[in-house]
Amino acid sequence: MPMREDLGRLSGYHSPQVDVAVRLNTNESPVPPPAGWREALQKAVGEIPFHRYPDRAATGLREALALHHGVTRDEIFCANGSNEVLQCLLLAYGGRGRSAVTFEPTYALHSHIARLTGTPVIQGRRAADFTVDEGEVRRVLAEAVDPVTFFCSPNNPTGTLEPDSTIEAALAVSRGLVVVDEAYGPFSGRSAAALAERPGGDRLVVVASFSKTWSLAGLRLGYAIAPAPVVEALEHVALPYHLDALTQEAGRLALDFAGETEKRVASIVAERERLQQRLARLAVDQWPSEANFVLFRPLGRDGHDVWEQLLERSVLVRDTSNWPGLQGCLRVTVGTRDENDVFLSALEEVLG
């Protein structure tokens, strides 16, 4: 039997994982999580009652996250990566007769997951500088039926931060949920979570991830900060015991190392600034970034060609050159100082 007909039109979401010396294509942290965290986890593993189902409510982890963000436990929902949070949001609030709204170019999984859940997608456009114009927010939301509106701040793959005013405009114009994906939030030092106190804040959902800023992409843990009724709806659609005991414990322990994580974030930000200064001397356009990656466009060169020539030098970046609105662009993750230097000299060589 063929799979669901509407799925056939959707190509999966893949970033090629090629074996190279310098891998700067998926925005992971270039450094492993704190050694102290690993030790604490090894100890904790000996105590986990693996013959029992995990705490379905993830009480300990949610309490720790609530404390970290100054909210209450019933305002936190946890899942296997923030992508599962997004999927639960769309299962609960999307579907036929509803819509998902994105402003392109942005994180491809917002519209992809929407379509997987049978939610029609309405795509707005970003301005030339990749910001979302408030007029565009009004125009797109006017035609959307019961929308779940997605923002990404800082935006992947452009690096731009979404101003509060844009998110407030979406909350004012629509009566649906407004979701702000903050997978890279801590790199910017900003969060839309504070807008929960403003009009429409009872429909605001902030989504966060352990994958980037916490150096824990291998763990698969993400969460939402949302009004309690939204959290209840998400629990309604999540599979029973979806979050295993090990992940709950690992995440809870990670929060004990928040100070170390902040230092790592600060050093990646410093390295990003150095990378951008060096890029400024090359024949590329680049966009200011508030994240751990930089979008750039080689001038007078075919983007895919440059990507291939970097790959020949064992440097893998993200080829975004044929994405709508990103013609000729490539996205590079901020790596270690050494990795960035290898990337920069390879790029220098390729650009001649």
Residue 325's region, left for phi above 0, alpha for psi from -120 to 50, else beta, is: left
Give φ, ψ of 105 to 5 degrees: -80, 140
Q: Give the nearest distance from C-beta 297 to ligand PLP in angstroms.
A: 20
Residue with tokens 């949302």: 226
Nearest Cα to 320, choosing from 208, 156, 84? 156
Identity of the residue, 203 or 212, whose beta carbon is nearer to ligand PLP in the bound complex: 212
113 near ligand PLP (CB under 6 A): no
User: Binders of ligand PLP: how many residues, by CB under 6 A?
Assistant: 14
Tell me the C-alpha distance between 108 and 240, whole Å. Answer: 28
Q: 75-108 burial, b for 16+ CB within 10 Å, e for fewer? A: bbbbbbbbbbbbbbbbbbbbbeebbbbbbbbbbe
Ramachandran sector of residue 300 (left: φ over 0; alpha: ψ -120 to 50; beta: rest) = left
Nearest approach, Cβ of residue 162 and ligand PLP (Å): 12
Nearer to ligand PLP by Cβ, of 25 and 340: the residue is 25
Q: Does 222 bind ligand PLP (CB under 6 A)?
A: yes
Q: Which of residues 280-299 bind ligand PLP (CB under 6 A)?
A: none
Of the residues 75, 104, 162, 181, which one makes contact with ligand PLP according to CB under 6 A: 181
Task: Choose between 98 and 212: whose C-beta lies nearer to ligand PLP.
Answer: 212
Binding-residue pattern over the window 135 to 154 for ligand PLP, x denoting contact by CB under 6 A: -----------------x--
156 binds ligand PLP (CB under 6 A): yes
User: Shortest approach of ligand PLP to residue 258 CB, angstroms?
Assistant: 18
Q: Which residue has the tokens 């190279």?
A: 20
Which of 174, 211, 248, 340 contacts ligand PLP by CB under 6 A? 211
Kindly state the tokens that stand for 314.
């064992």
**Span interacting with ligand PLP, options 10-18, 134-142, 204-212, 332-340, rule CB under 6 A:** 204-212
Beta bridge partners of 124: 103
Taking each helix axis from N to C terminus, what angle separates 164-173 and 134-142, rounded to the nearest 10 degrees?
Answer: 20
Q: What are the Cα distances from residue 149, in Å, to 200, 254, 270?
A: 13, 30, 32
HSE-up (13 A, CA, CB side) for residue 335: 19
CB of 152 to ligand PLP, least distance (A): 5
Least distance between ligand PLP and beta carbon 82 (Å): 3
Q: How far is the CB of 157 from ligand PLP (least distance, A)?
A: 8
Binding residues among 14-43 for ligand PLP as defined by CB under 6 A? 27
Residue 327 CA: distances (Å) to CA of 63, 298, 304, 321: 44, 10, 10, 5
The correct pick among 37, 77, 103, 107 for binding ligand PLP (CB under 6 A) is 107
Residues between 38 and 97 with contacts to ligand PLP, criterion CB under 6 A: 81-83
For residues 81 and 350, which CB has a smaller minimum distance to ligand PLP in the complex?
Answer: 81
Residue placing its CB nearer to ligand PLP in the complex, 248 or 344: 248
Tokens matching residue 223: 């969460």
CA 192, CA 180: separation in Å to the nearest integer? 7
Asked if 209 touches ligand PLP (CB under 6 A), the answer is yes
- What is the distance between the alpha carbons of residues 24 and 276, in angstroms, rounded to a whole number? 15
E strands in 95-209: 99-104, 121-125, 147-152, 178-181, 204-209
Q: In this complex, which beta carbon is closest to ligand PLP, that of residue 272 or of residue 344?
A: 272
291 and 181 in contact (C-beta within 8 Å)?
no
Residue 153 φ then ψ, to 5°? -140, 115
Nearer to ligand PLP, 292 or 321 (CB): 292
Give the nearer residue to ligand PLP in terms of CB position, either 183 or 344: 183
Listed ranges 14-22, 56-64, 211-219, 310-318: which one lies at the site for ligand PLP (CB under 6 A): 211-219
- For the CA atoms of 26, 206, 92, 122, the dihedral, rounded to the nearest 10 degrees, stands at -70
Residue 253 C-beta: closest distance to ligand PLP, Å: 18
Residues engaged in binding ligand PLP (CB under 6 A)? 27, 81-83, 107, 152, 156, 181, 183, 209, 211-212, 217, 222
